[in-house]
Each structure stands twice: as structure tokens, then as C-alpha cells.
């Protein structure tokens, strides 16, 4: 009886400690999400808001700009995320080498781009890829191009620059996750594999990848979510241009809310499409990743 009373007391005090954080999460996260959903079912502004049901959601599938933003996001997702995660895995394997000297320095350098301010990194790359930037200068010196290329006003090349910026900035972030996972793998496993005659390639595919699969799944889901919500790099580099060739869904929400005539109800509907896509892709990835 005394044991049960003590257990109830612990549970009660546990709720006391959790309650403030739970209240803040509800007020600043779930309540705005609920309001945004209600807003997505309305049109108009201020006191002129009127309920229109799912009209905003039907409009999405007829909106060429929205469809372009979804297509652009999936281009970034399909091209950039696999490249970034592969590079992060390679860098983590190198940084985990027991023979590597100055490990602390190299780990700091790899992670440093992630600590750089988003606006600063975007402005640096914007300068590099300008008409009179260093990239055009080097390519002309190597005779790869005959005249300067305007990278940021070309529909395809602008996407390439954005992919380069995202990869440069976030590869180190994922490298840290892989490095932590590699350090949790007992080195005796590799020693046993060497005794059995397994090559480095076989060890990588038969030992490293299977044991890292939970971390790979985690970084894949995080990178997918981040790419779908991509905003800062595109906003600072191209503003979604030329035309809408590089616009993302988050850029479109910003434009609907603050650039075009305010359409907050429709912008809320677009934001809920991001939520739907993130949830769907995360679910698919978790199912594909297995129980682990």
C-alpha cells in the first residue's frame, strides 16, 4: 500500500514538472497549428474572413506556381539529399580513422559551414557565382567557357548553385551523426572481419552500413523534412527566380503572405500541404527502413 502511494506521488510530481513545458508547447505550437488549419478553410482578410471549406485545397491542384514549387522541391530532394548523405558518410569514415592526425581540427572544419549564418553563406556563394565572380574567372582561365555565365538567372544553373550551397552547408551536420554512429561500433568487429579475410569494401557494406542503418534512416528523414521546408538559401540566392524556376513551397507561402496581395487562408492551405508531404515521406522512409 505504501509502495503504491509513493508511486502515485512520483507520477503526480512528474506531471507537475512536465506541465509547464507541455503548456508552452500547446500554446506556441499546437494552438497556432489548429488556428492555421481553421484559417486554411477560409478566404478574405480580417473581419471579412468567410468560411469556404476545402476550396483552398482544390485550388492547389490548379495553381501552376504551387505545382512548380513542388516540382522544384522534389528536384532538390532527389538530387541533393543522396549526394549529401553519401559525402557525409565518406567524411565520417575518414574522420573515424584511427590513423588520422589532427582529428579535432578536421572535425571542426567539416562542421564549420553548418555554424555559418544562413544569410552570410548565401551571400558568399552569390558573390562566387556572379557574372564577375571567382567561378567564372577560374572557368575562363581554364578555357572551359568563352564568356561569363550568369548562373543565378539561368533556370537550370540556378538550381545547381542552390544544390551546391545546401550540400556545402549541411553535409557536416550529417557527418557528425554518422561519426557518432561509427564510434559506437566495436572495433573488434572489424578485427574479426579482417581475420576472416574480409576486404575494406566488404567490411563497409556488410558491417558499417547495416550497423549504421538507424542513423542513416534518421538523417534521411531529417534531410527530407529540411529540403521540403527549404527557404533561406533560395530566398537569399535567387528569390525563387528566374521566373519561378527555383521557387520552393516555403518561398511561395512567404510570397502569398507578404509579397502578393495577402492571401493568408490560401497560404495556410499550402503550409498544410508541407505537413502532409513531410508526414507521408517520413512514414514511407520509416516503413522502408524496417523496425529499427
Report which of residues 288 and 202 the model is more confident about.
Answer: 202
Report which of residues 118 and 76 the model is more confident about.
Answer: 76
> Hey, what's the cell of 135?
567561378
> Which of 26-30, 234-238, 282-286 comes out lowest in average pLDDT?
282-286
pLDDT, residue 166, reads 92
Q: Is the pLDDT of residue 1 over 60?
A: no
**Cβ atoms within 10 Å of 108's Cβ, excluding its own:** 12
Within 8 A by CB and 6+ apart from 269, the residues are: 40, 56, 57, 59, 60
Confidence of residue 201 (pLDDT cuts 50, 70, 90): confident
Strand partners, 43: 50
Parse the chain into domains and list their residue ranges: 63-119+150-288
pLDDT, residue 292, reads 52
pLDDT, residue 223, reads 92
pLDDT, residue 123, reads 87
As a whole number of angstroms, the distance between CA 144 and CA 263 comes to 46
As a whole number of angstroms, the distance between CA 198 and CA 204 comes to 10
Please, what CATH class does the domain formed by 63-119+150-288 belong to?
mainly alpha
> Which of 90-99, 160-169, 195-204, 262-271 comes out lowest in average pLDDT?
195-204
Q: What is the pLDDT of residues 212-237, one digit of tens each?
A: 888 988 899 899 999 999 998 899 89
pLDDT, residue 11, reads 78
Q: What is the pLDDT of residues 94-132, one digit of tens each?
A: 888 777 788 788 888 888 888 888 888 888 899 999 999
Side-chain-side CA neighbours of 124 within 13 Å: the count stands at: 12
> For a pLDDT cut of 70, what percent of the chain falls above it?
97
Contacts of 150-156 spanning 24+ positions with Cβ under 8 A: 152/126, 152/237, 152/238, 153/241, 153/242, 154/242, 155/242, 155/243, 155/245, 155/246, 156/245
Transcribe 200-260 into DSSP letters: HHHHIIIIIHHHHHHHHHHHHHHHHHHHHT--HHHHHHTTT-STTSS--HHHHHHIIIIIS
Contacts of 251-255 spanning 24+ positions with Cβ under 8 A: 251/69, 252/65, 252/66, 252/69
Q: What is the pLDDT of residues 166-182, one digit of tens each?
A: 999 999 999 999 998 88
Q: Is the pLDDT of residue 288 over 80?
A: no
| DSSP symbol at 147 | S
Is-contact 90 171, C-beta < 8 A? no
pLDDT, residue 189, reads 81
Amino acid at each position: 500500500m505504501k509502495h503504491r502511494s509513493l508511486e502515485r506521488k512520483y507520477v503526480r510530481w512528474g506531471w507537475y514538472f512536465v506541465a509547464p513545458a507541455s503548456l508552452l508547447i500547446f500554446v506556441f505550437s499546437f494552438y497556432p497549428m489548429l488556428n492555421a488549419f481553421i484559417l486554411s478553410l477560409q478566404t478574405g482578410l480580417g473581419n471579412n474572413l468567410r468560411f469556404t471549406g476545402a476550396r483552398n485545397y482544390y485550388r492547389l491542384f490548379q495553381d501552376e506556381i504551387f505545382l512548380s514549387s513542388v516540382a522544384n522541391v522534389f528536384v532538390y530532394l532527389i538530387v541533393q539529399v543522396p549526394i549529401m548523405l553519401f559525402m557525409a558518410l565518406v567524411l565520417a569514415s575518414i574522420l573515424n580513422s584511427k590513423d588520422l592526425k589532427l582529428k579535432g581540427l578536421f572535425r571542426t572544419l567539416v562542421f564549420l559551414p553548418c555554424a555559418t549564418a544562413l544569410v552570410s553563406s548565401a551571400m558568399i556563394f552569390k558573390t562566387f557565382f556572379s557574372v564577375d565572380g571567382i567561378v567564372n574567372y577560374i572557368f575562363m582561365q581554364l578555357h572551359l567557357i568563352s564568356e561569363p555565365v550568369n548562373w543565378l538567372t539561368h533556370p537550370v544553373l540556378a538550381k545547381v548553385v542552390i544544390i551546391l550551397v545546401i550540400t556545402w552547408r549541411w553535409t557536416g551536420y550529417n557527418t557528425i551523426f554518422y561519426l557518432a554512429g561509427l564510434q559506437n561500433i566495436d572495433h573488434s568487429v572489424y578485427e574479426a572481419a579482417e581475420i576472416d579475410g574480409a576486404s575494406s569494401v566488404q567490411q563497409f557494406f556488410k558491417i558499417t552500413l547495416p550497423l549504421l542503418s538507424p542513423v542513416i534512416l534518421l538523417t534521411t528523414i531529417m534531410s527530407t523534412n529540411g529540403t521540403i521546408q527549404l527557404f533561406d538559401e533560395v530566398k537569399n540566392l535567387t528569390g525563387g527566380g528566374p521566373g519561378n524556376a527555383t521557387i520552393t513551397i516555403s518561398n511561395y507561402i512567404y510570397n502569398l503572405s507578404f509579397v502578393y496581395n495577402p492571401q493568408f487562408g490560401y497560404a495556410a492551405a499550402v503550409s498544410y500541404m508541407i505537413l502532409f508531404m513531410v508526414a507521408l515521406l517520413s512514414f514511407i522512409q520509416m516503413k522502408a527502413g524496417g523496425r529499427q
